[in-house]
Structure 1
Amino acid sequence: MSDPRLTIGPPPWLKGMNEELARTGVPLDVLTAPGRRTGLPRSTPVTVAEIDGRRYLVGGFPAADWIKNVRAAGRATLTRHGGEPEPVRLVEVGPEEALPVLRAWPSITPDGVSMMVDAGVVTGPTPDELAEAVGICPVFRVEGDV
């Protein structure tokens, strides 16, 4: 039986909040990937973690469309804080590489982790509780020079 947390998507209000942040000029990192059905560009704000010289994205809501789009395309563009779009390849990593990223996630984006807790993806905001999400919340290594 699969874990029911795999079906949890972002809260419905998150898209509107992200649009408002962008409209008010808050600098966001934005991932743009081709839609898996239409091929049209689909953008979403993301948090980029930099750990040991590598960049990572965490799929905090396992059923989010951006995760499905990235898995289908394997490529995207990443625009950091309103700068120039960078073509990237996103590689979904295994548990061994994902674990330290998930353990660091509460200190990288405490607000994001609070949303994950509220949605039932994780049981609490500690590194140990995030570590329990290995295999549930996908972790992607961001590779440049595509």
Structure 2
Amino acid sequence: MTTRTVPLTRVDRIVNGVVAGLVRLGLGFRDRRVLAVRGRRTGAVRTVPVNLLVMDGQRYLVAPRGETQWVRNLRAAGEGELRLGRRVEPFTAVELADDEKVSVLREYLRRWAWEVGRFFDGLDASSDDGAMRAAAPGRPVFRILERSA
């Protein structure tokens, strides 16, 4: 798997903080959630705002910036929580193989290209399947499965 991480800018960090604060208040517009996952080294719960993609009755988390800390933590833990206000939804995660990512990445870009398109090196929702497959190794995607608390 190609390791790739796009660093956050100062503006990204400020925007993420504002978005996370709004989601914690229950204002989860456009399927935004706060992802909470146990850190693989410290065991402390780490949080980050994410876009929850719902497609064909399935739910996905896409890491547009690549191999980020939340990706590594979710791989190690295999589970986490999606939070919106006081609502806490525990889940298990299954990482998709690269060939399974094409349609998910396309839909993710269709919905959120205005926000995350700069992390996709010129790809957009109209890019061909070959280009999407080529980009897939650097963009982890997880299928979210419900689990009881």
Return the TM-score normalized by structure 2. 0.80
Q: Which deviates further from its counterpart, 29-38 or 129-138?
A: 129-138
Aligned to 2:69: 65
Answer whether contact 1:103 1:131 (CA < 8 A) is retained.
no
- Offset of 1:130 from its aligned partner? 4.3
The letter of the residue matching 1:100 is S
Aligned to 1:99: 102
Answer whether contact 1:105 1:113 (CA < 8 A) is retained.
no
Deviations 1:6-58 (A, max 9, x none): 33234232222111234455534111000111010000010111111000011
Deviations 1:100-130 (A, max 9, x none): 101112112123332314xxxx223234254
User: Which runs of no fewer than 5 residues in structure 1 stay unpaired?
Assistant: none
Match of residue 137, structure 1, among 136, 139, 143: 139
**Separation of aligned partners in 2, 1:59 and 1:101:** 11
Match of residue 9, structure 1, among 2, 6, 13: 6
Answer whether contact 2:94 2:144 (CA < 8 A) is retained.
yes
After superposition, the Cα gap between the structure-2 partners of 1:20 and 1:127, relative to the gap in structure 1 and judged at 3 Å, is same
**Separation of aligned partners in 2, 1:22 and 1:72:** 23
Report SS of the residue matched to 1:44. Answer: strand
Aligned to 2:90: 87
**Separation of aligned partners in 1, 2:87 and 2:70:** 20
Return the TM-score normalized by structure 1. 0.82
Aligned to 2:118: 115
Answer whether contact 1:105 1:130 (CA < 8 A) is retained.
no
Identity %: 30
The letter of the residue matching 1:110 is A
Aligned to 1:77: 81
Residue 18 in structure 1 maps to residue 16 in structure 2: yes
Answer whether contact 1:102 1:133 (CA < 8 A) is retained.
no
After superposition, the Cα gap between the structure-2 partners of 1:47 and 1:90, relative to the gap in structure 1 and judged at 3 Å, is same
Answer whether contact 2:98 2:133 (CA < 8 A) is retained.
no
User: Which runs of no fewer than 5 residues in structure 2 stay unpaired?
Assistant: none
Answer whether contact 1:91 1:142 (CA < 8 A) is retained.
yes
The letter of the residue matching 2:57 is G
After superposition, the Cα gap between the structure-2 partners of 1:127 and 1:74, relative to the gap in structure 1 and judged at 3 Å, is farther
Structure 1 outlier segments of 4+, above 6 Å = none
